Amino acid sequence: MPNHTIRIRGARTNNLKCLDVTIPRGRLVVFVGVSGSGKSSLVFDTIAAEAGHQLNETFPPFARNRLPKWTRPETEEIEGLSPVVVIDQRRIGGNARSTVGTITDAWTYLRLLFSRVGSPHLGESNRFSFNDPAGMCQECSGLGEVVVSAVERFLDPDRSLAQGAILLPGFGDGGYWYSQYADIGSFDAGTPLREWTQDEREALLYGGEHAARLGTRPPKDYEGVVERFERIYLHTSDSLSDRKREVIARFTRSGTCPACHGDRLNQESRTVTVLGRTIGEMARMEITELAGLVEGVDDPAVAPVVAALTDRLRAMVTIGLGYLHLGRATTSLSGGESQRIKTVKHLGSSLIEMLYIFDEPTVGLHPHDIASMTTLLRRLRDKGNTVLVVEHDPAVMEIADQIVEIGPDAGTGGGELVFQGTFEELRTARTATAAALGDRTPVAAEPRTATGAVTVTGATRNNLKNLTVDIPTGILTVLTGVAGSGKSSLAAELVAQHDAVVIDQRPVGANRRSTPITYTGIATSVRRLFARHSGLPAGLFSANSEGACPGCGGLGVIYTDLAFMDGQETVCETCHGRRFTAEVLRHRVNGLSIADIDELTISDAVGQLPDEQIRRALVHLERVGLGYLRLGQPLTTLSGGECQRVKIARELREAAGPALYVLDEPTTGLHLRDITVLLGVLDQLVERGHTVVVIEHNLDVIRHADWAVDLGPGPGRHGGRILYQGPVSRMSGTVTAAALQEA
């Protein structure tokens, strides 16, 4: 009998409470619930993990080592799974060789096309591969870019050498390299560089001829600051430490390769044309245009290649990525764009009866673009696949065959199945999602009055059409417009011109040991609290001390790094994840051991731990709606939206003067109900005198803002103009205004 359902019994991953659920196969099922309720724990950490695990089991052991590892979920029983493809928003690789063209295979077809019908005729398609020595530009090794020293950032002209004029680490007084410049008698270490002669400054930086002109010649082996920096940091084959990477990021910039002008290919391959255009020119064309162009190749010898290529390109246009170009480095794509690119790959696949799992596919999409995404999800289902989607957007709930809600609340208050049925049935159910759907009257408060304005002038970044725009200060401004219209570009320009603080969704906490405890710096207070109660030294209560479990060194898990794949994490068998020795665990405060502290939620800790310092440090996290996080939860497990709120909490706690904050789609990962929390948090920032600028598609957030700057009209070169700027309530005549009126 074929399986028509996926049956899950007794799921206990993370906060799931022995959850049973049966999901129809071959359908589009949307998982909803407040943030932190357990949707990801069910869909990713249970269903996807088990499907991935079972798939791996079908391979012989030697092959298994090369597959991504899946931690087996804590579940009594799961059946009816098929091979799984997870399409999340993790950005596509940190590899500069990966482009929109290579990742979608469109580039492979384009290369084939050039090798078959390009003139002058060549033959081999590797000639058009920038990842192959036969085709790559020698100067930049096919990267299209070269890293150069940003010399203008090396020196502070207002300081003398002794005051640290050379800003590179290790070159200031006391630094390793300091005496090589200050003590050789050629330079005056006590005078600010501004007062030096031009020759002296050049000699300091470049040595060589300039050095020969100095009154006191430097030693023969003198090495200018730039030469030395490049030798130590750039022309080194050592693997880069984090610190080195950071220095490189600060003191270099990448410039277009002077040899290939960014085309990545060698001279010979760059001049071959099809329809009068080089492959480099095609790589820079918008995909929409390119699709139209290659359809015009009517040589029957390459008809299948042209068909495959246009198929890929059209798929990208369909999901609203027509404004990209094939040469675009995937590292520069947003999370939402990355996700849609990955979707294109799978639409082209002829596999059926697969299990596709999507994480919030509407991220980065204007209401205007969401229809193309829902079409895509339906197409995948109609090919005979099971499509599971974690999503907060009602537009996606509407097209679901079935909706599953996990709840009722977040963290320990969630983890149960609270609803299963159609969208219509959900509307009349009594769940957090139903309530939020019913009560979407936006908080259109009186617009606040600006205290002034900051001006962005002459913005031409990416597609911006030389914009000059005033951003009002002391209020909440929203940047709107279809995907690719230039919102992020304008925000980046604002940051560059006014040093704004970007509060993004990138991970917080540098390593696996970071938790809310380490992040808020309450670890010391907690240890002191235990020391006060036990009479033992505070140090013993640290997971980095001899109080730590010897099995896992206080991590609670054993982590295996796998060079090319996701690492594997397993719970430590010595301490069962409790991280401390049994001796340390015996001592209690209010009935809690040091390991129990890790299990406390932030809200519980605020209420239960008798310590004012701890309370003060945590209360801001509670204020941004993260009270449900456990104190010991690794920050690496936080979603992007949660990371962002952690950062907002830090700003609430620490920011001194009025600051300018920029947030990119802060509603990502947030349930309708949590959006209200977010708006409250943004208001808190504004009430403290800060200026807040958000890029948003969410209509509730747009309505809540005081001021709007709407970009468009289209994506890419069809965008980059300001369609409207003014109070949100008076916006009209744009697709954003239309979406606001419609809802």
State in angstroms the smallest separation of the CB of 91 from ligand ADP.
12
- The DSSP symbol for 348 reads T
Picking from 475, 431, 415, the residue whose alpha carbon sits closest to that of residue 673 is: 431
The strand ranges marked E within 307-368 are 355-359
**Which among 74, 72, 78, 73 is positioned nearest to 9, based on CA atoms?**
78
218 interacts with ligand ADP by CB under 6 A = no
From the list ligand ADP, Zn ion, none, partner contacted by residue 451 (C-beta under 5 to 8 A by kind): none
The shares of helix, strand and coil residues in the chain, as percent rounded to the nearest 5, are 40, 20, 45
Cβ proximity to ligand ADP, 280 vs 486, nearer residue: 486
Question: x/- string (CB under 5 A) for Zn ion, residues 573-612?
Answer: -xx-------------------------------------
Q: Is 572 in the site for Zn ion (CB under 5 A)?
A: yes
Q: Among residues 224 and 547, whose Cβ is nearest to Zn ion?
A: 547
Residue 330, phi then psi, degrees to nearest 5: -65, -25
Per CB under 5 A, which region of 91-99, 161-169, 249-257, 622-630 contacts Zn ion?
Answer: 249-257
Q: Helix axis angle, 303-318 relative to 335-347, nearest 10°?
A: 140
Give the nearer residue to Zn ion in terms of CB position, either 572 or 702: 572
Q: How far is residue 309's CA from residue 32's CA, in Å, rounded to a whole number?
A: 37
Strand 355-359 vs strand 691-695: parallel, antiparallel, or unpaired?
unpaired
Q: According to the binding rule CB under 6 A, does residue 433 interact with ligand ADP?
A: no
Question: Whats the size of the chain, residue-wise?
Answer: 743
Contact characters 463-482, ligand ADP, x per CB under 6 A: x-----------------x-
CB of 551 to Zn ion, least distance (A): 4
Q: Of 324, 370, 584, 646, which lies in the binding site for ligand ADP, with binding defined by CB under 6 A?
A: 324
**Six-digit token string for 193:** 């560089």
- Among ligand ADP, Zn ion, none, residue 260 binds (CB under 5-8 Å by kind): Zn ion
Give the torsion sign (CA, 222, 225, 228, 231): negative
Candidates 113, 483, 572, 584; binder of ligand ADP (CB under 6 A) is 483
Query: Any contact of residue 69 with ligand ADP (CB under 6 A)?
Result: no
Residue 629 interacting partner from ligand ADP, Zn ion, none (CB closer than 5 to 8 Å by kind): ligand ADP
Q: Which does 575 bind (CB under 5 to 8 A by kind): ligand ADP, Zn ion, none?
A: Zn ion
Q: How far apart are CA 395 and CA 94, in angstroms?
A: 32
Distance CA 100, CA 333 (A): 9
CB 494 within 8 A of CB 662: yes
**Among the listed residues 2, 23, 81, 79, the one whose alpha carbon sits nearest the alpha carbon of residue 355:** 81
Q: Which of 75, 115, 489, 644 binds ligand ADP (CB under 6 A)?
A: 489
Q: How far apart are CB 536 and Zn ion at their closest, in Å?
A: 20
Chain centre distance of CA 623: 24
Task: Tell the smallest beta-carbon distance from residue 111 to Zn ion (Å).
Answer: 17
Rounded to whole angstroms, the Cα distance separating 499 from 389 reads: 38
Return the range that interacts with ligand ADP (CB under 6 A); candidates 60-68, 223-231, 627-635, 646-654.
627-635
Pick from Zn ion, ligand ADP, none: which does 139 bind, CB < 5 to 8 A by kind?
Zn ion
**Cβ distance to ligand ADP smaller for residue 130 or 178:** 130
Exactly one of 472, 554, 627, 716 binds ligand ADP (CB under 6 A); that residue is 716
Sign of CA dihedral 343, 347, 350, 354: positive
35 binds ligand ADP, rule: CB under 6 A: yes
Taking CB under 6 A as the criterion, the residue among 38, 172, 322, 367 binding ligand ADP is 38
Classified as helix, coil or strand, 593 is: strand
Residue 140 binds which one of Zn ion, ligand ADP, none, with CB within 5 to 8 A depending on kind? Zn ion
From candidates 214, 260, 274, 629, binder to Zn ion by CB under 5 A: 260
Distance, CA of 84 to CA of 356 (rounded, Å):
6
Q: 13 with 78: CB under 8 angstroms?
A: no
Please state the closest distance from residue 257 (CB atom) to Zn ion, in A.
3
Binding residues for ligand ADP restricted to 329-358, rule: CB under 6 A: 332
Only one residue has tokens 């919102």, namely 487
Strands (E), 340-443: 355-359, 386-390, 402-407, 416-421
Which residue among 39, 342, 383, 513 contacts ligand ADP (CB under 6 A)?
A: 39
In this structure, what is the dihedral angle of CA atoms 147, 152, 155, 156, given to the nearest 10 degrees? -140
Q: Locate 58 and state its tokens.
A: 């079908």
579 binds ligand ADP (CB under 6 A): no
Span interacting with ligand ADP, options 29-37, 83-91, 98-106, 148-156, rule CB under 6 A: 29-37
Min dist. Cβ of residue 267 to Zn ion (A): 10
Q: Please identify, using beta-carbon distances, which residue of 262 and 719 lies nearer to Zn ion.
A: 262
CB burial readout 410-445, b (16+ within 10 A) else e:
bbeebbbbbbbeebeebeebebbbbebbeeeebeee
Measured distance CA(144)–CA(101) in Å, rounded = 14
Name the binder of 574 from ligand ADP, Zn ion, none, CB < 5-8 A by kind: Zn ion
| The two three-digit tokens of residue 363, written as one number | 């991220």
Beta carbon of residue 324, minimum distance to ligand ADP (angstroms, whole number)? 5
Residues that bind ligand ADP (CB under 6 A): 14-15, 33, 35-41, 323-324, 328, 332, 410-411, 462-463, 481, 483-489, 628-629, 633, 637, 715-716
Residues that bind Zn ion (CB under 5 A): 137, 139-140, 257, 259-260, 549, 551-552, 572, 574-575
